[in-house]
Structure formats: structure tokens, C-alpha cells
A and B are shown apart, each in its own frame.
Chain A
Amino acid sequence: MMHNNKFLGFWTILRKEVIDNLRDRRTLTTMGISIIVGPLLMFGFLWFIEKTVNEETDLVSAKPIELPVLGASKAPNLMNWLAQNNIEVVELNLDAASDQDQAIDKLVSEGEKLMILEIGSDFATSFEQSKTAPVRLIHDSSISGVKKIGFSTVQQVLARYSSTIGQLRLQMRGMSPQIIRPIQINISDVATAEARNSEILTMMPYLIVIFIMVGGMYLAIDTTAGERENGSLEPLLTQPVKRSHIMLAKLSATAVFSALTFLLVLVGLALSFKYVPIESITVSVDSAKVLIIFLSCLPFVFVACALMVLIASFTKSYKEAQSYLGMVMLVPSLPLVMLGILAPEPSVSNMWVPSLSQGLIIIETIKGEAIASPLIALSMLSSLLFAALLSYVAIKLYQHERILG
């Protein structure tokens, strides 16, 4: 025999739970979904971002923005300026008889035109006298999405024209334009393409951690609260197997499915990175990275499973266990929120925290930045310790008569 007789009960229960749950459609559906939905969520999101960004760029740079102008002839210089800035001026002609202001507002509010520029009737006179010349830009602020970009571009171009003319006027009077520019703001973005990716990649730990939990959830419930509800826990406890072995076997079966789901999600994500054409993402997840992430995050599988089995053991029924575990799923995502907001560097002070440390390992590994192996060892050891502690409490609970409910 491959195993010591002492652990016969353990292996028998572990094997039975695995076979039993492989026949459970819920378990299989969860795993099947994990390999498809994980990447779909991730890349659907990325694809959407990229599409939006592309459309934005197209709109701003490639295609001229169409701008209907009323009274264009009163401001030929401004029209030239607009044309130079890739804005296509379209002369707007309205019936002279009707109320022009109202007619314009109606055109925009009804969505016929995105925006209209109205040159005031005394624009030319005011301009010549170096006074503030009025123009009116009519738009609909309830319009959302990329259409808004046209409006803000026109606004910026107009503002630039205004400040350029202002500067010229000052210079003509022998004054430095700097007088009306007390400070100059210089912005430098030093982010590399990879680092910008990593911002999006903070999603990865969420997905992975959640699927690790989901993958083991049904077993955690089925082997504890489910078994009790089914009335088979008591017969099982009358078998000549130590309760600690029964508990550990159930925990191990849960971990098997959780780890399997974890691996499937990782492979799914890696394949998607390879075959889904998203130009803005220049990340590759090869099999080496998958292996590193899987092995170094494996201890978290035990933490998650021990936590779920422990909670499910406390509950009285399948349904109660389900609702509690739904909430428990939030616990390991809290450190990941912190990870998303603060983006800490891996260090001794954070690599002992389960879930947070795995999140860091996942992100850094995908980015191709190696984490010092002592830090990875710290993460693994600490998580194993947490798992051992939770398992110990669960075993203690199983020694208690109350487990029979």
C-alpha cells in the first residue's frame, strides 16, 4: 500500500469527497465558469477601456470636430484659428425672422447639433476696441461619453485663442505677458508603459483570490454543514477514524478543488494574455510565471479553505453556510483594496499578510519584477501558519459534541 495504515481513514475520506464532488454539477459548473468567466471579466474590461481610449484618440486627433458657427463672418481671425486647430467651421444659417437664441438652443437640446458657437453681434466692435468680446458656446452637459470630448476641445481652443490675443495686446502696450501668468505649471509623466499596465493589473489578485474561494466553497459547505444536514455526519463519526483525520481529509478535499480552480483561472488568464489582441497591454504571462504564481500562492488556498471549512462547521444548515461564506469572501478582498489604493512595495511589513502578500506576488510576477525570495518565503510561511491555526480551531470544533448540532 502506498500509504501508512494510520492514515487509511484520511485517504479514504479524501478520495470519497473528491469523487462525490466531481459528480456534483455545482462544483463542476463553478470550476468551468472560473476558467471562462475569469478571463472574460478581466479582458472584457480591458478591451472596453482600450476601445474607449482609441475612440477618444480618433475623435480628438484624426477626425476634425464639426462646429456650427452663427455669425462666422464677424470673426474671420477666430475662424482661421479654429480651422488651424482641426475644427471644421460650418456656417449656420437661420431664418432671420425667428428668435435666433431660442432656435439655437433648440437645435442643441434636441440633439440635432452637438454644440453651436454664436458670435455676438458686437463682437467685431468690441474686439477692435480691445474690449472683452462675447461669444456663446451652446452645448448639452447631459451628453456623456466620448461625445463630450469635442466640446472640451473647442473650449480649450477658444481659451487658447483668448490668451494668445491677450498676450499680443499686452506686448503691443510694451508689457510682458508674464504679468498675467503668475505661475507656470509643468507636468511630467514618467510612467513607463509597463507600469501603466500594472494599474490595470491590480484587478488580477481580486479575480484570483475570489476564484480560489469560490472553487472551494461548495466543498467547504458540502463536507460540513451539508453532511450534517444530510444526516451522514453522525454515522461517519462512529467510524474508527480520528475526528482530526476526518476534519483534515475534508479540508484537503476542499483544498484540492480550490487549488484546481486557481490553476484553471491562471491558465485561462495566461492564454488570454497571449491570444486576446489588446494593444495597450504589453504583458506576457508564460508558463514559468503561472508556475511561480501558483506555487507561491498555494498556501493561501489552505488559508481560504481552512477559513471556509471553519465557518461552515459553525453553521446549522447548507443555506446558513452559504450566506455566511458569501460574506467571508469579502474578508480577503479587503487587503486587496488597500493594495489597489496604496500600491505598496513588497516588504517585511506587508508580506506576512495573507491575501495582500499573494496580491503583491501576483502583480510583481506578472510585471516581470522579481520579489526577493525571503519575502516570498515569508508570505508562504505566514499563510501556512494562519492556515494551521484555522485548521486547529476547526479540529477542536470537531472534537466537540456540538458539531452534531
Chain B
Amino acid sequence: METLYSNLAIFVLALLVGVEVIGKIPSTLHTPMMSGSNAIHGVVIAGAVVTASLADSPTGYILTFIAGAFAAANVFGGYVVTDRILKMFTRPTPPKTVDTTTTEDAS
């Protein structure tokens, strides 16, 4: 019961922190934020590690393999694609390729 209580407390507080932090992210960044949080639930790979340490039957080994494969796809893929997206947001403003000497045409 004590463990459950402290785990529940952690869960609820983390939910509140999540609401607080995510609520302030501008809609411009919602896609990378989503794929970034998507990568964070890849922490389930740590659960796969725990399962591996407990597995002692063929079913257990198979489930370990499945959990490991799926979790790894999630965590590796999630971080890589988020980084790819954010790289496009953080690159320096490209220099204006056309010079502005032709302003007399504009108006």
C-alpha cells in the first residue's frame, strides 16, 4: 500500500507538471513536441529490461523480445525524427537570395 501511495503521488504530480509545461508550448511547435513526447514514452524500454531480468520461460523470452523490439523502435525512432524536425526550425534564417536593388519595380 505504501508503494502504491508513493507511486500514485508521483503519477499525479507528474501529470500536473506535464499539464503546466505542455500548456505553454506554442502551436508552432506542436508537431515536434508531440513527437518528442512520443520519444519520451519510449522509456518503456526500461520496462523491457526489467522484463528480461525476470523472464524464465519461452513465453517470457518471446514477450521480452517483442517488448524490446517495439520499445526500441519507439525510443530510437522518436528521438531521431524529432531531432530531424527541430533541425529545420533552428537553422539560421537563409540569406535573401535575390538582392533588393529592384525595389523600383515593387510599387
A interacts with B = no
* Chain A residues engaging chain B, CB cutoff 8 angstroms: none
